Structure 1
Amino acid sequence: MKLVQYIERSLGFVKQNIYSLLGATKIQDEMYNNRQFTRTQESERIIWVDMEMTGLDPETCHILEVACIITDQHLNTIAEGPNLILHQPDNILLKMNEWSWKHHSQSGLLNASRESKITLEDAENQLMNFVKKYTPPGRCPLGGSSVYMDKLFLLKYMPTFANYMHYRIIDVSTVKELARRWYSIEGPKKLMKHRALEDIKESINELKFYKRCLFRQNIL
């Protein structure tokens, strides 16, 4: 009789501990799933970058201005980051081609670059500090218009920042060209200010336009 009572008590103890373990596991699973959800949402964000340069050849040209905005996957702004004008000396500025000289003079960027105290290293550090707050490393793509060109300059002059992002890019210009060819849709007219932050915002708004027109929900 005592043996039977002992076995029953032992089984009850084991059962109680199993339920406790199962409960703890369930809580851990819920916490893990919540973390996964948060991490997934952050991984879906887009790092928008635009730069103004002295020209289009990264081997001989230099960055004048860089700006960054982070959006979620639906193009809602999460954070507006640094808008930085880098210092370039006259020996670099004077080598600009006629187009760059004209437009950067008209926008005021040329003189602003002369007077700026921000170095290339300063700019990259500020950009890195910004994106680390809102995006996980190696997960979020670079977004922009003809942004492959910006990436070439980033790889040369800001490799740490460039390699923090996913290797894929979201190029609004690609969508623009396909919309025109396949649907005869012209995107919103751009103001062409040739300033980094304004150009990013135009690119985001342009992609929002194509999202409404072309990338509709329940298309099947």
Structure 2
Amino acid sequence: MVWDPNTCRILEIAIIVTDRDLNPLHEGIEFVLKQSDYFLDKMDDWNKTTHKKSGLIDKVKISSLDEQVVEERILDYLFNLYQQELHPLGEFNSPG
């Protein structure tokens, strides 16, 4: 495993939906997630330095979005994008 879910948390997530040639189909979404000082203190020195310098840690501390809220917003975004942008008539094509 790349990271330990017991001590590591997602700080920021962005999604851009593309076609097979990686051309964006929509402008995308981005979220900064609220995380407790407990998890921020568990970061290694590289992450602490990098994310402090970029301002991400400050954004995390003032964010009101928890993981569950962000998950729901991402699923809503993808569902709505699929329904409205990719299949504007709500039609689903099936082979045969």
Whether contact under 8 Å (2:16, 2:24) holds in the other structure is yes
Superposed, 1:35-184 pairs within 5 Å as 56-135=3-82
- Shift of residue 82 of structure 1? 1.9
Q: Percent identity?
A: 34
Whether contact under 8 Å (1:64, 1:113) holds in the other structure is yes
The count of corresponding residues between Structure 1 and Structure 2 is: 82
Give the structure with the higher percent helix: 1
CA RMSD of aligned residues (A): 1.8
State the structure with more CA Rg.
1
Unaligned runs of 5+ in 1: 1-54, 137-220
- Shift of residue 112 of structure 1? 0.6
Whether contact under 8 Å (1:88, 1:114) holds in the other structure is yes
Q: Which residue of 2 aligns with 1:45?
A: none
Structure 1: distance between partners of 2:3 and 2:47: 10
Deviation digits for residues 52-98 of structure 1, max 9, x if unmatched?
Answer: xxx83233210100000001112111012221000011111111110
| CA 1:90–1:59: 2 relative to 1, 3 Å | closer
| Matched residue SS, 2:17 | strand
Unaligned runs of 5+ in 2: 84-96
Whether contact under 8 Å (1:82, 1:126) holds in the other structure is no
| Matched residue SS, 1:67 | strand
Give the structure with the higher percent strand: 1
